[in-house]
């Protein structure tokens, strides 16, 4: 039983006879780069192929919509009776024209511009209202929480589309992209308020909040410096998914006759094209597909962000 | 369980009453029966307006009007439209028309969601999963009316040509005058033919959302300890899946379906407009455009009633299906 019979065995002590790796290999270390939480989330997101694909397509769409009109030959409002209702490819109209001879590509670019504006405005308003109500209800609790959440439940008993129609019918002058955005924004905060409120109810009990209290932090400071940063994940996911809902709602409202009237918007193009499906299919397909692609991209990006914020997600390695 | 039911029932009734107050306030602020008269050329003399205000009792205090309307609704008298026709019977009739579409769509969406949700969960990461995930992504991003128009313009005609007979209809909820000329079985099949396309277009959005939810719920269940035990003790896979897995996975779906009723109602309004059904959707749009107060009030109350009723059913069903809720 001498240890000299096995030259690889290290003399590590009387009890061990385990084979150790060569001396050179022991010195190799595994290092893990220290990554902050934000970096980890970014890495998970960037590695999600679907989300990256969606982001790429969305970026291309936005680029073409905002930069395209600078290079394109036709204006969206330019009426050309001579070229009315021609198909894609004729006379330089890449996607064809509508009944008044307005170029479809130019209108789609303009429509995407207006619709993205609608999304941004509506989500901003909903975000503000949702944060306000969610923070008040979650942080102060008790009767404020009760009253606000009951109010949210009550508003939710009316189907959202119908509620928007009734409100929109009151303001016939607000039928622009921004006007409709404001109306949608006024009612889009309901589920955000619920989500934030339940998250705050949980966060409120954590030690770092208690510590902040003990150090004399004001309520506002706690809300802005401690609570909101911890809820950023939910907020961003909500924002992207609501963005998709907003653009679809705007289209539905316009189709029913209560949406955008005095402005171009993607929803308006789709709604107007619905009736031309048989006779002028390009007016039906292109706006519809564009709307579908945008909503699809936003949804995929939103799902990617949600997966990125979830550390237990097994699909993408961090 | 009994007291739980009573508590939830009372709470629902309270919510319905407060909701009626909000709905009434919203509508009274939005719709002025005198609006069409303002726009007439030449404008009618002030005495006409005064007489109209008397007739519609517009000068009564808000709560008096509210109470009058509420007591009417409780006796199922929804008042009269601006033209004088009673709102109640029209609403009931159109409710029947819309209910066909909504019920059929919900049933279709639930069945498909369960089948696809379970399938994609059990076969996670296989080709079926990717296919259905892609499909649901697309369906969620699709505007309902665009999809309905797509079905209407292309599927209906191609299908009818393929079969050689006019099976799928695209306009209206039944052929004109079939109630007079047709036997009851002819009426039934005619209505069914008109029902197919609207039901599909209405069901697709809900199916997509619910199937994703069902997939997540099923994945949770499949990874749980009791499923592992069921397999370990030798139960056949199908047996374990259905009797133990599915029963648990379906419970969260009840809540999601109940919450989706409002969305389906909104979708029904759109689908009815696309397929020109003479149902609740058409009635609502026409009444809003005509500034007609009572029909819109009646419509919103019925919608709120169904949403609250479905939420109540979901809560009770949840308690029935999950003993942990009942016994807590």
- The pLDDT tens digits for B23-71 are 998 888 888 777 777 777 777 777 877 877 777 777 778 888 888 888 8
* pLDDT level of residue A15 (50, 70, 90 thresholds): low
pLDDT score at B304 = 92
Q: Residue B128 pLDDT more than 80? A: yes
Give chain A positions within 8 Å (CB) of B154: 277
The backbone torsions φ and ψ at residue A85, rounded to the nearest 5 degrees and listed phi first, read 55, 40
Cβ within 8 Å of residue A207, ≥6 positions away: none
Give chain A positions within 8 Å (CB) of B273: 255-256
Structure tokens that stand for B87 in this block: 């709102």
Mean predicted confidence (pLDDT) in A77-95: 77
pLDDT score at A316 = 45
**Minimal CA–CA distance to B253: which of B215, B284, B283, B226?**
B215
Q: Residue A7 pLDDT more than 60? A: no
Q: Name the residue with tokens 């602020």.
A: B29
Identify whether the C-beta of residue B252 lies closer than 8 Å to the C-beta of residue B213.
yes
Residue A113 to chain B, least CA–CA distance (Å) = 19
Closest residue of chain B to A296, computed from CA coordinates? B141
Q: Residue A55 pLDDT more than 80? A: yes
| Percent of chain A residues topping a pLDDT of 70 | 88
Identify whether the C-beta of residue A4 lies closer than 8 Å to the C-beta of residue A17.
no
Please tell me the distance from the alpha carbon of residue A291 to that of residue A303, in angstroms, as a whole number: 18
* pLDDT level of residue A54 (50, 70, 90 thresholds): very high
**Minimal CA–CA distance to B313: which of B32, B85, B118, B106?**
B106
Closest residue of chain A to B125, computed from CA coordinates? A315
Please tell me the distance from the alpha carbon of residue B4 to that of residue B327, in angstroms, as a whole number: 10
pLDDT score at A3 = 47
Total CB pairs under 8 A between chain A and B: 120
Cβ atoms within 10 A of the Cβ of A194, count? 20
Please tell me the distance from the alpha carbon of residue B151 to that of residue A277, in angstroms, as a whole number: 11
* pLDDT level of residue B109 (50, 70, 90 thresholds): very high
Identify whether the C-beta of residue A283 lies closer than 8 Å to the C-beta of residue A104.
yes
pLDDT score at A226 = 87
Residue B56 to chain A, least CA–CA distance (Å) = 20
Is some CB atom of chain A closer than 8 A to the CB atom of B276? no
Identify whether the C-beta of residue A248 lies closer than 8 Å to the C-beta of residue A293.
no
Please tell me the distance from the alpha carbon of residue B292 to that of residue B83, in angstroms, as a whole number: 9
Q: Residue A29 pLDDT more than 80? A: no
- The model carries a pTM of 0.83
> A97 forms bridges with which residues in the sheet?
A103
- The pLDDT tens digits for B267-298 are 999 999 988 888 898 899 999 888 888 889 99
- The pLDDT tens digits for A150-200 are 888 889 889 999 999 999 988 888 888 899 999 999 999 998 998 898 888
Please tell me the distance from the alpha carbon of residue B30 to that of residue A175, in angstroms, as a whole number: 16
Q: Residue A313 pLDDT more than 70? A: no
| B140–A154 C-beta distance less than 8 A | no
pLDDT score at A312 = 66
Residue B271 to chain A, least CA–CA distance (Å) = 10
Closest residue of chain A to B305, computed from CA coordinates? A157
Q: Which of A154, A258, A296 sits opposite B18 (nearest CB)?
A: A154
């Amino acid at each position: 039983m001498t240890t000299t019979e096995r030259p690889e065995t290290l003399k590590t002590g009387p009890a061990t006879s385990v084979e150790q790796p060569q001396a050179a290999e022991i010195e190799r270390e595994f290092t893990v780069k220290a990554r902050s939480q934000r970096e980890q989330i970014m890495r998970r997101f960037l590695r999600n192929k679907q989300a990256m694909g969606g982001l790429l397509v969305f970026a291309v769409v936005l680029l073409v919509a905002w930069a395209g009109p600078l290079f394109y030959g036709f204006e969206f409002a330019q009426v050309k009776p001579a070229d009315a209702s021609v198909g894609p490819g004729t006379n330089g109209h890449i996607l064809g024209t509508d009944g008044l001879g307005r170029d479809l590509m130019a209108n789609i670019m303009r429509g995407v511009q207006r619709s993205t504006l609608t999304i941004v405005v509506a989500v901003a308003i909903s975000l503000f209202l949702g944060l306000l109500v969610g923070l008040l209800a979650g942080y102060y609790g008790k009767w404020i929480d009760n009253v606000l959440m009951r109010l949210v439940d009550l508003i939710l008993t009316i189907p959202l589309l119908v509620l928007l129609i009734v409100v929109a019918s009151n303001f016939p002058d607000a039928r622009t992209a921004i006007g409709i955005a404001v109306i949608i924004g006024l009612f889009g905060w309901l589920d955000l308020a619920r989500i934030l409120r339940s998250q705050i109810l949980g966060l409120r009990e954590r030690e770092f909040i208690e510590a902040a209290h003990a150090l004399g932090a004001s309520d506002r400071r706690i809300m802005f410096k401690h609570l909101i940063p911890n809820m950023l994940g939910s907020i961003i996911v909500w924002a992207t998914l609501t963005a998709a809902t907003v653009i679809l709602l705007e289209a539905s409202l316009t189709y029913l006759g209560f949406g955008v009237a005095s402005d171009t918007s993607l929803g308006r193009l789709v709604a107007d094209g619905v009736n031309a499906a048989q006779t002028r299919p390009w007016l039906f397909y292109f706006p519809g597909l564009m709307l579908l692609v945008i909503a699809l991209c936003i949804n995929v990006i939103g799902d990617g962000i949600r997966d990125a914020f979830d550390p237990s997600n097994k699909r993408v390695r961090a | 369980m009994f007291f739980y039911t009573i508590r939830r029932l009372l709470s629902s009734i309270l919510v319905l009453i407060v909701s009626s107050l909000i709905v009434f306030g919203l509508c009274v602020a939005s719709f002025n029966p005198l609006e069409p008269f303002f726009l007439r050329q030449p404008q009618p003399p002030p005495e006409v307006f005064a007489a109209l205000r008397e007739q519609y009792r517009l000068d009564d205090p808000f709560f008096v009007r509210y109470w009058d309307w509420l007591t009417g609704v409780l006796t199922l008298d929804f008042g009269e439209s601006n033209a004088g026709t009673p709102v109640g019977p029209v609403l009931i009739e159109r409710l029947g028309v819309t209910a066909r579409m909504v019920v059929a769509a919900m049933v279709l969406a639930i069945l498909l969601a369960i089948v696809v949700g379970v399938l994609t969960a059990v076969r996670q990461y296989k080709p079926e999963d990717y296919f259905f995930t892609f499909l649901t992504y697309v369906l969620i991003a699709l505007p309902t009316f665009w999809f309905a128009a797509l079905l209407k313009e292309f599927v209906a005609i191609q299908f009818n040509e393929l079969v050689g007979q006019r099976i799928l209809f695209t306009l209206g909820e039944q052929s004109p005058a079939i109630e007079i000329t047709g036997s009851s079985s002819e009426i039934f099949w005619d209505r069914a033919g008109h029902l197919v396309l609207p039901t599909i277009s209405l069901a697709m959005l809900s199916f997509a959302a619910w199937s994703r939810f069902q997939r997540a719920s099923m994945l949770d269940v499949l990874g749980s300890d009791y499923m592992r035990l069921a397999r370990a003790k030798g139960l056949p896979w199908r047996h374990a899946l259905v009797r133990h897995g599915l029963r648990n996975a379906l419970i969260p779906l009840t809540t999601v379906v109940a919450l989706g009723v409002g969305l389906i109602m909104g979708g029904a309004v759109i689908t009815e407009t696309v397929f020109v059904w003479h149902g609740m959707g058409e009635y609502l749009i026409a009444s809003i455009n005509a500034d007609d107060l009572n029909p819109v009030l009646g419509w919103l109350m019925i919608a709120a009633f169904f949403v609250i009723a479905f939420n109540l059913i979901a809560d009770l069903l949840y308690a029935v299906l999950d003993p942990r809720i009942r016994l807590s």
